[in-house]
Amino acid sequence: GSMLVSPDATDADLAAETSVRPKRLEEFIAQHRVREQLQVLLQGAVRRGSPPDHILLSGPPGLGKTTLAMIVAAELGTGLRMTSGPAIERSGDLAAILTGLGPGDVLFIDEIHRIAKPAEELLYSAMEDFRVDVIVGKGPGATAIPLDVEPFTLVGATTRAGLLTGPMRDRFGFVAHLDFYEPDALRHILHRSARILGVDVSDDGAVEIAGRSRGTPRIANRLLRRVRDYAEVRGDGRVTLDAAQAALKVYDVDELGLDRLDRAVLRALVTSFGGGPVGLSTLAVAVGEQPDTVEEVCEPFLVRAGLLARTPRGRMATPAAWRHLGLQPPDSAFG
């Protein structure tokens, strides 16, 4: 699949995102409920002069979890330490991070569901009692040395809240789920990013990009950069409706935000298998991809867009999928 509509961050995204990342809660667009809840939590903590409860943010990649963690530290006026579950291999790594925190600091752990078990247990006691037992030595001579940790706030992020252990989830006083963004919210995000980047974007240009961004701010910002490039090279530099349509045609991102592979999957389903149901591996062979790629890269968005259904008997194209390909759905589809 093309990287252009993948929600995961590439190195280029990480560099480009720094400038457009909202720095304060009031700049964070949409997600009103989460924003309001966080505001109350943070203001209460500032008023009391003590760190807020630990915060768990769940939701798909590219929706603003890292951004919110940075905002939490900024609103509290504290230091921020960032790491990730996979980066913490040994509990000693985590103990070093924890004992190095300043009073009230925010510790952000991305992909917290992937933290190794021994480190996870160390984290429990740090979250609960602000202390950790560091084990020195091995076997019968091993001793536990208790170390104090400054009061801190853990901000955990996960794309898979269901994979968190019960004890872990219970230690978060505040849990928020981020949902995909409406096109209009993405339009606002695009106007804001364009302003920061000094790009001249028309409203219909922003609407066009927003509609193809799969509900994901990271994808919206990435498509904006590609359309800007195109407009600078082929046009007058303005991101207009025409520029957006022409650029995204070149990059093979269609009106719904589907790329070439997404469309190949739907086309195979419809033309080779009569709309299904068909098994995942058969479908993957038909498009020349690994089943994992089809399942993890294409299907989540196709399902969410209402184009593909996973049924016990296999994958099925919905009537909307037929129509998206310009075909008449058979009467028997879903009925």
Q: One-letter amino acid identity for 196?
A: I
310 is in an annotated binding site: yes
Q: Please choose, out of 14-22, 85-93, 123-131, 246-254, the segment that lies near ligand ADP by the rule CB under 6 A.
A: 14-22
- Residue 22, interface with ligand ADP (CB under 6 A)? yes
Residues binding ligand ADP: what is the number (CB under 6 A)?
A: 20
- Active-site choice (187, 214, 218, 228): 218
Q: Among 323, 292, 291, which Cα is nearest to 305's? A: 323
- Active-site choice (13, 110, 259, 262): 110
CA distance 275 to 157: 37
- Residue 29, interface with ligand ADP (CB under 6 A)? yes
Selected binder of ligand ADP within 5, 6, 25, 28 (CB under 6 A):
28
- Tokens coding 319: 């009537």
251 is in an annotated binding site: no
Q: Please choose, out of 59-67, 73-81, 231-239, 327-335, the segment that lies near ligand ADP by the rule CB under 6 A.
A: 59-67
> Tokens 């569901």 label which residue?
113
CA distance 101 to 81: 8
| Catalytic site includes residue 282 | no
Q: Please choose, out of 28-36, 93-101, 264-272, 324-332, the segment that lies near ligand ADP by the rule CB under 6 A.
A: 28-36
For residue 239, what is the DSSP state? B
- Residue 276, interface with ligand ADP (CB under 6 A)? no
Closer residue to ligand ADP, CB minimum distance, 128 or 182: 182
CA distance 319 to 47: 54
| Catalytic site includes residue 110 | yes
326 is in an annotated binding site: no
Alpha-carbon distance values, 27 to 7, 59, 70 (Å): 21, 20, 12
53 is in an annotated binding site: no
Shortest distance in whole angstroms from residue 155 CB to ligand ADP: 11
CA distance 216 to 5: 9
- Residue 61, interface with ligand ADP (CB under 6 A)? yes
Question: By CB under 6 A, what part of segment 177-216 binds ligand ADP?
Answer: 189
Selected binder of ligand ADP within 5, 6, 25, 30 (CB under 6 A):
30
Q: One-letter amino acid identity for 113?
A: H
- Tokens coding 63: 């929706």
Yes or no: say if 90 and 118 are a contact pair by the CB < 8 Å rule: yes
Closer residue to ligand ADP, CB minimum distance, 217 or 329: 217
- Residue 176, interface with ligand ADP (CB under 6 A)? no
Yes or no: say if 323 and 266 are a contact pair by the CB < 8 Å rule: no
| Catalytic site includes residue 218 | yes
124 is in an annotated binding site: no
Q: Please choose, out of 57-65, 266-274, 296-304, 325-333, the segment that lies near ligand ADP by the rule CB under 6 A.
A: 57-65
Question: By CB under 6 A, what part of segment 145-174 binds ligand ADP?
Answer: 157
CA distance 168 to 311: 33
In the chain, alpha helices (H): 11-20, 32-48, 65-76, 91-99, 117-129, 166-170, 183-197, 203-211, 217-234, 241-250, 260-267, 280-287, 291-293, 299-304, 319-324
Selected binder of ligand ADP within 205, 215, 217, 329 (CB under 6 A):
217
Shortest distance in whole angstroms from residue 187 CB to ligand ADP: 11
Q: Which residues contact 249 (CB under 8 A, 6 or more apart)?
A: none
Q: One-letter amino acid identity for 14?
A: L
- Tokens coding 245: 């349509």
Closer residue to ligand ADP, CB minimum distance, 41 or 284: 41
| Active-site residue set | 65-66, 110, 159, 218
Residues that bind ligand ADP in the complex, under the rule CB under 6 A: 17, 20-22, 28-31, 61-67, 157, 189, 217-218, 221
Binding residues for ATP: 21, 62, 65-67, 128-130, 171, 181, 218
